Amino acid sequence: MKSEKEKMLAEELYFAGDAKLEKDRIAARKFFTEYNSTEPAENERRLGLLKKILKFKGDILIEPPFYCDYGFNIEVGENFYANFSCIFLDTNKIIIGDNVMFGPNVQIYTAAHPLNAKERIKGLELAKPITIGDNVWIGGGAIVCPGVTIGDNTTIGAGSVVTKDIPDNKVAAGNPCKTIRNL
């Protein structure tokens, strides 16, 4: 029988109130309480803290405050920058490529809820992975919804709500986000 975490990562309905998942979320919150209280000059300390919770390859700078559900579902490539107040709901995998930049208040949501009210009321949730390619820039206040893939060399305009995949080499913006220009 699958654990609730296994169901969550398999894109199946899972019970978000599961004791193990709750424990993992509390651990993440304790971690980010410490991370978000660091001083601006403490980049080495921040890097050390991030190594405890995220998977990343190279240079990474995430400006506090930064929040996520678990941390262990986030994989980041080389040369990543996230400005202030980014939120990653990582109930499923968030894969971020190399040379990616996020403006302030970017929100990455793998979490979703059933449309059926009876399932939702029981505390059941869904989660779909998000993939962000290499050389991507996501403007401030953008929201990336569950199951979306953003292609390489793409720019997402500030305030966009990305509900569907965006291919490589595009400028996309709006609500819902749509391609407005080829690169």
Catalytic residue positions?
113
Closest CA to 166 of 157, 179, 147, 182: 179
Distance of alpha carbon 49 from its chain centroid, rounded? Answer: 18
Residue type, 110: T
Q: What is the DSSP letter of 168?
A: S
Cis peptide upstream of residue 176 (ω within 30 degrees of 0): yes
Instruction: Using the Cα atoms of residue 56, residue 79, residue 49 and residue 22 in order, give the sign of their dihedral.
Output: negative
Q: Is 99 left (phi over 0), alpha (psi -120 to 50) or beta?
A: left
Q: How many CB atoms lie within 10 A of CB 26?
A: 10
Chain length of the chain: 183
Residue type, 17: G
